[in-house]
Chains A and B, each alone.
Chain A
Amino acid sequence: MTHRVTYKVNGVTRTATIEDNELLLDVLRDRMGVKSVKAACWRGECGLCTALVNNKPVKTCLVLGVDADGSEIVTAEGLGGDELLSPLQKSFVDHGALQCGFCTPAFVLTAHHLLETNPDASEDEIKEYLSGVICRCGTYFQIVEAVKDAAKHYKKK
């Protein structure tokens, strides 16, 4: 069976006709061209397919596209709003918190949600909250520094 689904992706209403068994990850990447959502392990372990779905970071390789119908989705492309990069994304650049960059969108989105809900997160809380995303280059130290540094932008709000 096919379903007509509608998401709001980074503020823009998008629709697609999809099969029952299509994953949100595939719908975003292949049908909507949102390529910052990365496909890697496909089984919820690496976290690189993370997107903010209704303002919560979820692993889109374990969500059905049809299940997400009507959702509001934010990905790395949309985090900065009108700006190219959000303050958190800039902080990742400033701290060199990436090597190959493949995991960066997932880390940025997960950290964004953490700082939105808890801008005073301690270093341990940051590490715990980011534990669902894996960086194979091993830039964890810089990632935590970037998140700590960006927290000030969330406190001002």
Chain B
Amino acid sequence: MSFGSPYFTVPKFEYVKPVTLKEAIEFLSQHAEDTKVMAGGVGLLAFMKERLIDCKYVMDIKAIRELHELKYEKGRGLTIGAAVTLAELLEQPVLKEKYRALYDAVKNLSDPNLRNRSTLLGDLCEAIPWIDSPAPLMLFDAQVVAKSARGERKIKIHDFIKGAAENALEHDELAVSVLVPDPVPGAASRYIKFSRGTEFSIASVGALVVNRDNPAKRVVRLTYGAINVLPIEAFEAEKVFRQSKPINQLISEALAVVGRTVEPVTDVLGTAEYRRHLIQVQTAAILKELLGS
């Protein structure tokens, strides 16, 4: 039933469902250019309906047991397999306890029904500018684990998004998991996004604070999503907090540096000027919450 519109149908392809990782990697090494990997399929099927993606094979990775790994190990951190749904991730108490910024992002990502299908790695691999996962993952220096017939490599989250809908994976590589290292003890983090209802983010900010009261050891990290093609970490603004000055003064200084160095763009969702305003408001709010002034 298509009512005559292509947007209601999915173009033809061949469905492949490997049950082992080895099988999946072998298939990719042979058909890399013609294959799209599907986890939840929420993004992929929507893009295929819009004829933005056409491929010969769709490889469903949900039958691969290893990719459902969801495990926290002290010292090593949180491993989130490529087939773990956002709903399963939210059920992990450790997410809110230790990775609050990531929890904030996942809790407000799309809606509960979609979260029963969609995955964190799927969101990340889509690499479209308004996705929510990069900014919180950058705070924890997460890594994407990619496997291919040539071996395994870890890609730093800061290097993973390469452009609009472009990620750092080679065609024959399969992203198998995200590794989110254990945060430093005492680290507190948050993520705020601005969007209309459950729609795409227009601007988002993540922040992480360690040793709030000790300027010599204080670490403040600030990351931004959805304001430019690539996610941004505000390294210049982070340096401000190494000074021993009253917190309120540091926040004002940091906001000025963010205004100067963090560059938003104009697109269909909002203008650069609007986004510049939004990130000032969001940054002030998130820093006041975490630094408690």
Given contacts A57-B116, A63-B41, A132-B113, contact A44 B15 (CB under 8 A): no
Q: Is A100 an interface residue (CB 8 A)?
A: no
**Would B113 and A59 count as touching, CB distance under 8 A?**
yes
Q: Is B49 an interface residue (CB 8 A)?
A: yes
Residue of B nearest to A106 (CB): B113
**Would B41 and A67 count as touching, CB distance under 8 A?**
yes
**Would A132 and B49 count as touching, CB distance under 8 A?**
no
Task: Compute how far the CA of A110 lies from the CA of B87 in the bound complex, rounded to whole angstroms.
Answer: 14
**Would A64 and B42 count as touching, CB distance under 8 A?**
no
Task: Compute how far the CA of A42 lies from the CA of B6 in the bound complex, rounded to whole angstroms.
Answer: 11
Given contacts A39-B1, A44-B42, A66-B15, contact A110 B60 (CB under 8 A): no
Against B, the Cβ 8 Å flags (1 = close, 0 = not) of A17-44 are 0011111001001100000000100111
**Would B112 and A42 count as touching, CB distance under 8 A?**
no
Q: Give me the interface of A with B, judged by CB distance under 8 Å.
A: 1, 3, 19-23, 26, 29-30, 39, 42-44, 47, 50, 56-59, 61-64, 66-67, 110, 128-129, 131-133
**Would B11 and A26 count as touching, CB distance under 8 A?**
no
**Would B13 and A44 count as touching, CB distance under 8 A?**
no
Q: B87 — which chain A residues lie within 8 A by C-beta?
A: 56
Q: B111 — which chain A residues lie within 8 A by C-beta?
A: 47, 131-132
| Residue picked from B12, B87, B110, B116, most chain A C-beta under 10 Å | B116
Q: B168 — which chain A residues lie within 8 A by C-beta?
A: none
Q: Give me the interface of B with A, judged by CB distance under 8 Å.
A: 1, 7-15, 17, 40-42, 45-46, 49-50, 58, 60, 62, 87, 110-114, 116-117, 197-198
Task: Compute how far the CA of A44 lies from the CA of B44 in the bound complex, rounded to whole angstroms.
Answer: 12
**Would A23 and B10 count as touching, CB distance under 8 A?**
yes
CB within 8 A of B13: which of A20, A39, A42, A132?
Answer: A20
**Would A21 and B117 count as touching, CB distance under 8 A?**
no
**Would A42 and B11 count as touching, CB distance under 8 A?**
no
A56 CB → nearest B CB, Å: 4
Instruction: List 9 other contacts, CB 8 Å, given A3-B15, A44-B42.
Output: A19-B12, A21-B10, A21-B11, A44-B110, A57-B113, A62-B45, A64-B58, A110-B112, A129-B112
Q: B42 — which chain A residues lie within 8 A by C-beta?
A: 44, 59, 62
B112 CB → nearest A CB, Å: 5
Q: A132 — which chain B residues lie within 8 A by C-beta?
A: 110-114, 198
B259 CB → nearest A CB, Å: 33
Q: Lowest 3 A-B CB distances belong to which pairs?
A: A132-B111, A132-B113, A20-B15
Q: B45 — which chain A residues lie within 8 A by C-beta?
A: 23, 61-64
B31 CB → nearest A CB, Å: 15
B261 CB → nearest A CB, Å: 35
B199 CB → nearest A CB, Å: 8
**Would B1 and A20 count as touching, CB distance under 8 A?**
no
Residue of A nearest to B41 (CB): A62
Q: B11 — which chain A residues lie within 8 A by C-beta?
A: 21
Given contacts A57-B113, A67-B62, contact A43 B46 (CB under 8 A): yes
| Residue picked from A22, A30, A59, A67, most chain B C-beta under 10 Å | A67
Given contacts A44-B114, A128-B112, contact A21 B12 (CB under 8 A): yes
Q: A19 — which chain B residues lie within 8 A by C-beta?
A: 12
Task: Compute how far the CA of A157 lies from the CA of B45 in the bound complex, rounded to whole angstroms.
Answer: 38
Q: B41 — which chain A residues lie within 8 A by C-beta?
A: 62-64, 67
Residue of B nearest to A49 (CB): B113
**Would B1 and A26 count as touching, CB distance under 8 A?**
yes
**Would A21 and B9 count as touching, CB distance under 8 A?**
yes
Q: B49 — which chain A residues lie within 8 A by C-beta?
A: 42-43
Q: B46 — which chain A residues lie within 8 A by C-beta?
A: 43-44, 62
Task: Compute how far the CA of A57 lies from the CA of B85 in the bound complex, rounded to whole angstroms.
Answer: 13
Task: Compute how far the CA of A3 lies from the CA of B17 in the bound complex, rounded to whole angstroms.
Answer: 12
**Would B116 and A67 count as touching, CB distance under 8 A?**
no
Residue of A nearest to B197 (CB): A131
A-B contact pairs, 5 of them (CB 8 A): A43-B7, A44-B42, A57-B113, A62-B45, A64-B58
CB within 8 A of A20: which of B12, B116, B198?
Answer: B12
**Would A56 and B13 count as touching, CB distance under 8 A?**
no
Given contacts A42-B49, A62-B41, A62-B42, contact A133 B113 (CB under 8 A): yes
